[in-house]
Amino acid sequence: MDSILVRGNGALSGQIPIAGAKNACLTLMPATLLSEEPLTLTNAPRLSDIRTMTELLSSLGAEVTSLQEGMVIAMATHGEINHVAKYDIVRKMRASNLVLGPLLAREGRAVVSLPGGCAIGARPMDLHIQGLTALGAEIELKDGYLHALAQGGRLRGARIRLEFASVGATENILMAATLAKGTTVLDNAAREPEIVDLADCLRAMGAQIEGDGTPTITIQGVDRLHGATHRVVTDRIELGTYMLAPAMCGGEIELLGGRIDLLSAFCEKLDAAGIDVSETEAGLKVARRNGRIRAVDVTTEPFPGFPTDLQAQMMALLCLAEGTSVLEEKIFENRFMHAPELTRMGAKIEVHGGTARVTGVERLKGAPVMATDLRASVSLILAGLAAEGETRVSRVYHLDRGYEHVVAKLRGVGADIERVSET
């Protein structure tokens, strides 16, 4: 099993290219099940989760080809479709549940295992099931699988209101509704950039969608969708992660492809903490102002609020702030597992339920730490970059699910970091 060794090495300088969004690409790939014609995605990230989705789609009968060293994914589902998504694949990744809506829409039936992924909370399928049931699906849970059948063989448009603005439920319902008979109106829909990116792709395939990016999305069902080529949106979570590197270590980094509109709430918190973010022709430039980082309070919220996927990284930054910060996690109930590991490095953190109180220290010290999930793993790497001495981050297989070439990208701006194999 691999570890990552990080040695505090002072200020960082240079450029980091930001990849296409993992969460967007994992949503876009199942859209190939909606059409018999080819769907091609460009600017795809090269991650283990993308390989898992490729494996899942292939098992369902899709042809998936990786081109240009994985940055282009060419897909086609023109043959017979297998409507059963098996546990052995689905258990690896939460996003696997996004084949449910497309299979129901095109085949009128689906059998999909309950999904896996990082252990950061229950993340139930209730909202997915309620939305698809409103579209005319009969869904039953048997032996760990969701057995879904469209009444009359085709879904029907409906008015649906989500109890919570769930990203996954919005995506599943949105894809299913594109081929449903009649009009679907989805209220309290998620507004994340990944939702807008999916809607843009579906429109390129011939779907009739309005209102994405707002709380109400209207979908007029069509009889068929055609092929398309679509560029995956910039990964705002990778972007925010690397923005924190110069904030913690000093120096200045330009993030190629970065956009402030993807992270407005996050950028506001960085400004309050004493971090400058400016737009360039190629992306965003980030540098820390003079003096120590200032403490700020953070509450995670659905977009356009502060992203839960940047909470762990932001905690690493605030460990070095002057004063006390309070972080409140409102999206997932088990997402402070990185706090004890940061404490091993000298951080002062008190966790009470969904709230963490962080009292900043002048410096962190390197230590052996263990990654507990995807975002926690990179928060420990950031902490190691700013710490005295050497930090060894173990169980970094989580990292491969969401960050491509993290060691090379950080080395490129002057970080002392390497990946080593443990015997």
Render pLDDT for 171-198 as a digit per residue (tens, 0 to 9): 999 999 999 999 999 999 999 999 999 9
**Is 269 marked as a binding-site residue?**
no
With contact defined as beta carbons under 8 Å apart, do 417 and 411 qualify? yes
Q: Which residues contact 25 (CB under 8 A, 6 or more apart)?
A: 41, 44, 45, 50, 53, 73, 232
Residues 192 and 175 occupy one common structural domain: yes
Q: Return d(Cα 46, Cα 55) in angstroms, integer.
A: 14
**Burial code of 44-81, b = ≥16 C-beta within 10 A, e = fewer?**
bbebbbbbbbbebbebbebebeeeeeebebbbbbeeeb
Same domain, 145 and 250: no
In this structure, are residues 25 and 409 in contact, taking their beta carbons and an 8 Å threshold?
no
Predicted pLDDT at 120: 33
94 annotated binding-site participant: yes
17 pLDDT above the threshold of 90: yes
Same domain for 374 and 395, yes or no, is yes
Percent of the chain with pLDDT over 90: 85
Total domains in the chain come to: 2
Percent of the chain whose predicted confidence (pLDDT) is above 70? 97
Q: What is the pLDDT of residue 117?
A: 42
Is 331 annotated as ligand-binding?
yes
Say if residue 115's pLDDT is above 80: no
pLDDT at 116 (0 to 100): 52
Is 127 assigned a ligand-binding role in the annotation? Answer: yes
pLDDT digits (tens, 9 = 90+) for 264-317: 999 999 999 999 999 999 999 999 998 899 999 999 999 999 999 999 999 999
> In the prediction, which pLDDT does 375 show?
82
pLDDT of residue 118: 38
Same domain, 14 and 26: no
Q: How does pLDDT run across 39-76, given as a tens digit for each residue?
A: 999 999 999 899 999 999 999 999 999 999 999 999 99
Domain that holds residue 142: 22-229
308 forms beta bridges with none
User: Annotated binding residue at 125?
Assistant: yes
Q: Catalytic amino acids?
A: 118
| Domain termination residue (choose one: 190, 208, 229) | 229
Alpha-carbon distance of 377 to 394, in angstroms, equals: 9
Kindly state whether residues 202 and 331 are assigned to the same domain: no
Q: What is the pTM of this model?
A: 0.92
